[in-house]
Structure 1
Amino acid sequence: MQRPKVSRELAYLIEAAVLPSGHQSFEIEDKPFDPQRFSALVSWHQIRPLAFEYVQAKSLTLPDNVLKMLREFTLGQAVTNMAFLGICVRLYNRLIDNEVRAFPMKGALWAWMLYDKPVLREFGDIDYFIGKEDVSKSLNILLGEGFAADNYRHYLLKEKAVVEDYLDTDYQLPLTPVQEHVLQSLEIQWNCTYPRYCYNFTWDELAGNLVEFNMMGKPVLVPGMEIQLIMMVIHHGGVEQWDKLKYMADLLRLLDKSADSMDWTYINKVAREKGFHKLFAESLGAAGYLCGRDYAKYAGAGSSYPSEGFLKDILTHWENERPSLKTKTWRIFLYNIKYRDKWSDKLSIVAAHIKYLTYWKLLWHKISWYRNGPSGETNRDRAVNAVSGRQDI
């Protein structure tokens, strides 16, 4: 593969996000460094603390306003991480004490599990995976702790005729504080993503072998690194499509820390059974390309990974940012049709989207909610989108 060409700004950010290896994967454009573009890109990629550490280590010259932004954000993130740690463990213990099957996940966990300095990982909320049958109980407990679902989701969850359909077709529930709180967003999940993308795992598949992990001396039970990797590839790759350097920074740190000790036979078996082994191999190949390590070998893949198109798409999004959409349903659908393993896997995704339209009671309640909302035409549009599958509601 011919070495891709990237801007000087992106080259710096890739080097900031990738663990030091001395490997240069790209040609750099012969253009002057633009610090304002660097500032915009670092915010988009959500790696400001990593970039600030890199700027200091490399003595990179930046305008005072850009350097001030990086410094202040990094200091604020350090305070936030420490505050969120205490909240994360406290709420986890409340759930466990009330016999709710739960474990912390994603950013709040990975900051402590994967990064030598947890303050270097940007995140803004706390996520828990909850056993599907325990969702209702968990909501009552979290309400007692000051976090509630929005009116729309509260409405669906209280409608006995559709609550099971809602849980069967969705995967997450964002909660917000009922009063002023340092934590502005808390999310519970009971699946890895929308079931219609066919990355479905039961609680037992994910949590059948929990291990103790200390978050700054405070023990929590979480899935081992094999499951962490699987969930990361599904979310960062299958849903977010590696659109930001933050996602690749997570993957590289997990692989650097645990690649030599993980059960790759198990990981590859699961990826094949769930129909995303191609995406898995592409993702490991891209990670290896960035740092000069052969991670694709763990997927049993050769030098053909990452494919030129896979890497080109990632770099294009990194360089130019990705257009913001009201809903990413169609984008995710097309991506998974492209990168899932077999035609049977792709057809399963199509069939699952068609099946979603058969949940007529649920769709009717969704339409009714938005038709009766206060904002008129906007809500009618969202109601139509709910039926068409274009709206992630």
Structure 2
Amino acid sequence: MTNIDQLECDSFSKELNFMLLLLSEETTEQQPHLVRSALINMDWDHFIELTRHHRVYPIIYKRLKDLAIYNKWIPTKVMASLQREYQRNTYQMLHLSGVMDTVCRILDDNQIRSIFLKGPVLALDLYGDISLRTSCDLDLIVPMEDLARTESLLLKLGYVKDDYFETILGDWKWRHHHITFYHPIIGIKLEIHWRLNPGPSKEPGFNKLWTRKRTSTITNYPIYYLGREDLFMFLVSHGARHGWSRLRWLADIDRLSRQPIDWVVLRELLYKYQYAHIGGQALILSEQLLLTPIAGRIRAIMGDTRTRRLAQDALFYIRQMVNLHTEPVPEHISRYHKRHLFSLMSTQQKIIFILSFLYPYPEDARTLPLPTKLHFLYFPLRLIVWTWRKTKKITLQEGGYK
């Protein structure tokens, strides 16, 4: 890329730059001048905080151990802290591996096909070691028609469904993309997907994913996970939707891009499902922040003006440790994120997204309760109910009520 395409990273902290240096596979023991200069006036507490926020402490610990020449410059307490996090994560990933094996066997015994999206299978595939990637839960996708049976089986295993969203007139099928289950005894969370991403995104159906799946060797039992090209699409769409606010997701793209991907097939899929600009955003970020070598056959998707702008916009999340998963999200970040999500959509997706506001929301049923058999009336009443709800909210605020 030319100089004009360089991302504006001048405001990155010294600690963030050092972490990026360690995350890059291109950093070797033959570059002591880079590392030594990066360590001047280092705030080690902030550095550790960054590794935790971005969920990359296992990789950082391993890199510092492998780059032994630099160990003498790293405070003992820093290495000890990273080692504790690394060991804790190793136990967690072993625990998840056992649960994954159990869940997969149960589903197979009941003729339910499943494809794991993240977790230990992803860690082993991308990093060659389950201890080098963090994961707090297991994500898998099943056919929509098997969703009810999957839920029933998990409930029998002791999992509790987290009804974190409300639904009306079947809108859950396209407004959402997964349901969450938690096991209170073993402390494991499962996300069961029927789509890879929430609507209005376009994506391959389960049967297409199934024909391109791979088999993991992580256990003695066959565990299926996404083919490389489908995995790339899933990871870039997931990372973009969260603003790349965790560098763990970008590290995944770096490792995956170094694998034997069929770039021609991937490019066709990205354009077919309208992910080319998102794929380009991920590759620009990975190339410039982690020095990822990019194959010539895919570079064309990185040159678009919109794609470069999306990559620059993502730095908003990275430079200031934005956490989108902990409520309440600061108002200015929430506003920025809503705009960013809209900017990620294709023109077709934006039209569908805007039209989706005409479809009734669960809030409509709370504002104007109707018997279930009359819920179809929420369609013609949608605008009236929405206006009533907004007017009522404004009136309460003016009266001093929140």
Q: 1:243 maps to which residue?
A: 245
The 8 Å contact of residues 17 and 245 in structure 1, kept in 2 or not, is answered as: no
1:84-99 matches, within 5 Å, as 84-99=96-111
Q: 2:285 maps to which residue?
A: 286
Q: 1:223 maps to which residue?
A: 226
1:186 partnered with 2:190: yes
Q: 96-105 vs 226-235, which deviates more?
A: 96-105
Find the partner of 1:35 among 44, 47, 64. Answer: 44
Query: For residue 191 of structure 1, what is the amino acid of its counterpart?
Result: R
1:116 partnered with 2:115: no
Q: 74-83 vs 277-286, which deviates more?
A: 277-286
1:314-393 matches, within 5 Å, as 314-322=314-322, 324=324, 326=328, 333-340=338-345, 345-360=346-361, 362-364=362-364
Query: For residue 61 of structure 2, what is the amino acid of its counterpart?
Result: F
Q: 1:145 maps to which residue?
A: 157
Q: 345-354 vs 38-47, which deviates more?
A: 345-354
Secondary structure, counterpart of 2:259 in structure 1 = helix
Find the partner of 2:55 among 13, 33, 46. Answer: 46
Find the partner of 1:67 among 62, 71, 79. Answer: 79
The 8 Å contact of residues 161 and 181 in structure 2, kept in 1 or not, is answered as: yes
Query: For residue 194 of structure 1, what is the amino acid of its counterpart?
Result: P
The 8 Å contact of residues 210 and 224 in structure 1, kept in 2 or not, is answered as: yes
Change (3 A) 1:102 1:365: farther
Q: 1:79 maps to which residue?
A: 91
Change (3 A) 1:51 1:60: farther
Secondary structure, counterpart of 1:36 in structure 2 = helix
Over residues 253-293 of structure 1, what are the superposed CA-to-partner deviations in whole Å (9 max), with x where a residue is unaligned? 111122xxx22222112211222212212222322233445
CA deviation after TM superposition for structure 1 residue 63, in Å: 5.0
CA deviation after TM superposition for structure 1 residue 336, in Å: 4.3
CA deviation after TM superposition for structure 1 residue 17, in Å: 2.0
The 8 Å contact of residues 35 and 62 in structure 1, kept in 2 or not, is answered as: no
The 8 Å contact of residues 284 and 299 in structure 1, kept in 2 or not, is answered as: no
The 8 Å contact of residues 296 and 305 in structure 1, kept in 2 or not, is answered as: no
Change (3 A) 1:93 1:298: farther
Runs of 4+ in structure 1 over 3 Å off: 2-6, 20-24, 26-31, 60-68, 290-294, 302-316, 323-333, 362-369
The 8 Å contact of residues 281 and 308 in structure 2, kept in 1 or not, is answered as: no
Query: For residue 16 of structure 2, what is the amino acid of its counterpart?
Result: L
Change (3 A) 1:8 1:293: same
The 8 Å contact of residues 108 and 127 in structure 1, kept in 2 or not, is answered as: no
Secondary structure, counterpart of 1:188 in structure 2 = strand
CA deviation after TM superposition for structure 1 residue 124, in Å: 0.7
Secondary structure, counterpart of 1:301 in structure 2 = helix
Normalising by structure 2, we get a TM-score of 0.76
CA deviation after TM superposition for structure 1 residue 368, in Å: 8.8
The 8 Å contact of residues 21 and 291 in structure 1, kept in 2 or not, is answered as: no
The whole-number CA distance in structure 2 between the counterparts of 1:75 and 1:15 is 23
Query: For residue 288 of structure 1, what is the amino acid of its counterpart?
Result: E
Query: For residue 51 of structure 2, what is the amino acid of its counterpart?
Result: V
Q: 1:171 maps to which residue?
A: 177
CA deviation after TM superposition for structure 1 residue 209, in Å: 2.6
The 8 Å contact of residues 130 and 188 in structure 1, kept in 2 or not, is answered as: yes
1:206 partnered with 2:217: no
The 8 Å contact of residues 95 and 101 in structure 1, kept in 2 or not, is answered as: yes
Change (3 A) 1:330 1:123: same
Aligned residue-pair number: 353
Q: 2:375 maps to which residue?
A: none
Secondary structure, counterpart of 1:11 in structure 2 = helix
The 8 Å contact of residues 192 and 199 in structure 1, kept in 2 or not, is answered as: no
CA deviation after TM superposition for structure 1 residue 249, in Å: 0.9
The whole-number CA distance in structure 2 between the counterparts of 1:182 and 1:35 is 32
Secondary structure, counterpart of 2:197 in structure 1 = coil
The 8 Å contact of residues 236 and 279 in structure 2, kept in 1 or not, is answered as: yes
Query: For residue 139 of structure 2, what is the amino acid of its counterpart?
Result: D
The 8 Å contact of residues 108 and 125 in structure 1, kept in 2 or not, is answered as: no
The 8 Å contact of residues 96 and 119 in structure 2, kept in 1 or not, is answered as: no
Q: 1:376 maps to which residue?
A: none
Secondary structure, counterpart of 1:176 in structure 2 = strand
The 8 Å contact of residues 159 and 182 in structure 2, kept in 1 or not, is answered as: yes
Q: 68-77 vs 206-215, which deviates more?
A: 206-215
The whole-number CA distance in structure 1 between the counterparts of 2:39 and 2:18 is 14
CA deviation after TM superposition for structure 1 residue 182, in Å: 3.9
CA deviation after TM superposition for structure 1 residue 251, in Å: 0.8
Secondary structure, counterpart of 2:258 in structure 1 = helix
Gap regions ≥5 residues in structure 1 = 370-383, 389-393
